[in-house]
Structure 1
Amino acid sequence: MIVCFAAAAAPFVLASAASPATPATAPKRSHELSAIEVFTVAERAQSAGHYEEAIRLYDALTQDRNADVRAEARFRKGMLLASLKRYRKAATAFRELLDETPDAAPVRLELAQVLALMGDEGGARRELRQVQATGLPEQVARAVGQFDTALRSHKRAGLRLEFALAPDTNINRATEVRTLDTVIAPLTLSRDARAQSGLGVHLSADGYLKVPIGAGISVVPRINSLATLYGKSEFDDITVTALVGLEVQRQHDRFSPSIGHGWRWYGKRSYMHTDVATLDWIHVLGQTAQLSGSVSAATTDYQLNNLQDGALYSVSVGVERALSARSGVSVALNAVRQTARDPGYATASGGVRLLGWREAGRTTLFASATLQRTEGDAALALFGKRRREWFASVRAGATLRALTVHGFAPYVRVGYERNASSVDLYDYRRFTSEFGITSAF
């Protein structure tokens, strides 16, 4: 069930469209009609089934000098597109309106509903948390509560694609030192074994299919893939994971157990196979926050070094909270345990990740920081040292929705990583960047 927000959104209809006392001049292509008259023509076209004509009229009104007229035009355009099931374009229209009027709660609710219909439940819930952070009238608050209870991922299938150019100062995450001290003799590293810079192409694709089998229960097979390709193919890094599992939805919780298999290729060679079982959990935590958790267990089969074969266990927990209609933060803790045939390759690690985001006009900004500690079980035979590492990274980026084309917008991301290790082979630093396109909402 999707709750209709028509009643809650009614107050958003603006005075400029309701009162002839404050007419605004429409663009010239509207033949100097007042904004109110153009809205009337658009309504008639919409009622007659001439939807493209109505959309063109609304588009013309979004160029008006009066901010209220622009907002009303975008709202009506979004509602029309949503009724035509053009959800991506509807989401873009609502997002453009929110860029100018971020505290327009009814519009954010409509955006949440459209995102849910597209299958982006996470995005829909985030919009709900942000609108609830602003405080709502009782009538609207009741509508939100009904929607939050009824919220499901309605889309039965989905596909997400991302493309970017990725300049990188250390594409192989390698040390910069030329010579390593070993228990045998100093080891001189070849040029390819040391840090290499390069320009890569970043590609990712995620797809899923949802098959309902009962009330609030679905079978969900999915596939995730990530590739970074370089001119020097020996550094190409490709990962593919195929999973199948259940999605169990309850009033305030969603559980997703799954099993699957993963493949990783590095260069032109098979690098690792994994068999994995996971359990993901999301819990609504009040009106403006949610709690998420994940546990997984996997077996690892390294194709190039059997001494690394073993098991991989991980657990994470995080909280996400909306601070306002335009900003939010999250914090997550994680722990990982990796076993191996050779204790020198076995490690235990734990870390924390902080993330914040803010909408500034028609740009979405984010920044994140990660800190992680890793300890090896025993000394590596060749180096006579046990791994002790601090890993730190910072990232920031922006999505430029002002340049949206067909629901996609350009983005830029930059980052810095530093892995300080007691074993020189694992000690590195790295600057990264991405210039690509992503969904605009």
Structure 2
Amino acid sequence: MMTAIALTSAVPTSAVAGEREFSATSLLALAQKLERSGHRDEAARLYQALTEDPNPDIRAEAQFRTARYLAGEGKTREAAVLLRRLIDEHPKAAPPRFELVGLLQKMGDEAAALRELRSLGTLDLPMNAARLVDRMSASLRANQPFSFQLEMAIAPDSNVNRATRSDTLDTVFGEFEVNESARAKSGLGASIRGLAQGRVDLTEDTALKLYASFDSNLYRQRRFNDISLSAGLGPEFRIGSTRLALNVGGSQQWYGMRSFVRSLRAGGTAWLSVDRMSQLRLDGSARWTNNLFNDQQDGRGRSVTARYERALSPRLVASVGGGIDRFAATGPAYSTRSRSASINLYRDMGRATVSLGVEVGRLKADERLSLLPKVRQDRSLRLQAGMVLRKLTFAGFAPTVRVTHERNSSTVEFYDYRRTRTEFGISRAF
């Protein structure tokens, strides 16, 4: 069924030729003719009028062309939101994903652009389009020299200090009572996270990258406030389809509004393109830590992690990962060896993205504290479920919900805890 739309002053009078009403198909054809003749603004107004048309094909074409118009006008965020809406409605449509890849690249979000390219790899593309995916994957690099991401949330938390609920602690001298202030406390907090990135191209395949991140959990009782700030820089190289980044940096953590931990870090990351639908990421780092509360926890650490991510369909992405860590502290009882493994799924469902994740870990200390009867040995489980509700997008941001449950089982009661945290916030909608 064709929908009649009243034509307003959105088009020149000469183009109307006296007619005041057109079918949606005729309006689309007229808008395309205006666009080809250079009347882009008039064509854009017609496309905009058709973005809510009940015919899905008409609506999709109008949304796509409106997004391209917005991108050409420098309204990158608005264009990206509209393209994401179009992809939600037509997950197997390749053109809007190609356009979104270009916008994400322009905004400096290379990881999201590569994820969209892997989703494109799951489609049955013509040979020339498949080759274009390969070329874009190989040459992808951010065009924008600076980018910034922000996420804010309100977070009810059952255990803001990750503390035990036990009221006693076993020692070699018997049971000691755990002070009330050292036990688990619940609370309502505010979470604010930010990431700023910049890059300076040195050659065609080499760039200098800089970053700074901020992560804070703030509560009414300031003694539970947890704030972290980190910054670093380093070169990034491209060798064929592989990217390699080296960086050095430092971080500062405050707990209870007091300086808690300072650290220096040096590391490297490699991104290996396995095929059109998957990528392998390898990370290795060394760190030097200064604990301002306890000198026995000063030390140096080394870690290695790997993560494999694959697009199983245009709507479904899965990843598996694992890592090992060694920390050698001044006090042997604080020296630890740990390992972890994780699985994550991301699924687009209509105009929402649902994520599910599970992570398990093991940790063992080198020695026991002289006061305690057992060496610390932990088993951890972390479950997470989240949703981004793009249907409620406003000004480029969408509401998010994230629920996380942690269980750390330890031979030392002080490290044995449960925690459930729910976040209601906003994040980028594309």
Asked if TM exceeds 0.5, the reply is yes
1:85 counterpart = 2:39: no
User: Aligned pair in 2 of structure 1 residues 151, 43: CA closer, same or farther (>3 Å)?
Assistant: same
User: Which of 170, 176, 187 is the matching residue for 1:181?
Assistant: 170
Aligned residue runs from structure 1 range 416-435, under 5 A: 416-435=405-424
Q: Deviations over 1:379-402 (max 9, x none)?
A: 012213211110001101110000
Matches of 1:333 and 1:77 in 2, distance apart? Answer: 43
- State the Cα distance separating 1:191 from its structure 2 match: 2.3
Partner of 2:380: 391
Give the conservation status (yes or no) of the 8 Å contact 2:133–2:276.
no
Give the conservation status (yes or no) of the 8 Å contact 1:169–1:198.
yes
User: Aligned pair in 2 of structure 1 residues 393, 304: CA closer, same or farther (>3 Å)?
Assistant: same
Partner of 1:18: none
- State the Cα distance separating 1:44 from its structure 2 match: 6.5
Matches of 1:197 and 1:51 in 2, distance apart? Answer: 56
Partner of 1:412: 401
Q: Deviations over 1:336-386 (max 9, x none)?
A: 111111111110000101001110110001100000000110001221321
- Which stretch shifts more, 268-277 or 84-93? 84-93
Give the conservation status (yes or no) of the 8 Å contact 2:300–2:327.
yes
Give the conservation status (yes or no) of the 8 Å contact 1:25–1:64.
no
Give the conservation status (yes or no) of the 8 Å contact 2:153–2:191.
yes
Aligned residue runs from structure 1 range 26-425, under 5 A: 26=5, 32-40=21-29, 42-43=31-32, 54-425=43-414
Q: Deviations over 1:67-87 (max 9, x none)?
A: 111101111011112222322
RMSD: 1.9
User: Aligned pair in 2 of structure 1 residues 385, 118: CA closer, same or farther (>3 Å)?
Assistant: same
User: Aligned pair in 2 of structure 1 residues 249, 381: CA closer, same or farther (>3 Å)?
Assistant: same
Matches of 2:90 and 2:153 in 1, distance apart? Answer: 31
- State the Cα distance separating 1:225 from its structure 2 match: 1.1
User: Aligned pair in 2 of structure 1 residues 163, 54: CA closer, same or farther (>3 Å)?
Assistant: farther
1:25 counterpart = 2:14: no
- State the Cα distance separating 1:139 from its structure 2 match: 2.3
Matches of 1:55 and 1:419 in 2, distance apart? Answer: 56
Q: How many residues align?
A: 420
Paired AA for residue 5 in structure 2: A
Identical amino acids, percent of aligned pairs: 38
Paired AA for residue 350 in structure 2: G
- Which stretch shifts more, 36-45 or 197-206? 36-45
Matches of 2:219 and 2:45 in 1, distance apart? Answer: 44
User: Aligned pair in 2 of structure 1 residues 45, 163: CA closer, same or farther (>3 Å)?
Assistant: farther
Calculate the TM-score normalised by the size of structure 2: 0.93
Matches of 2:172 and 2:34 in 1, distance apart? Answer: 82
Calculate the TM-score normalised by the size of structure 1: 0.91
Paired AA for residue 341 in structure 2: V
Q: Specify every segment of 5 or more residues in structure 2 that has no aligned partner in the other structure, as ranges.
A: 11-19
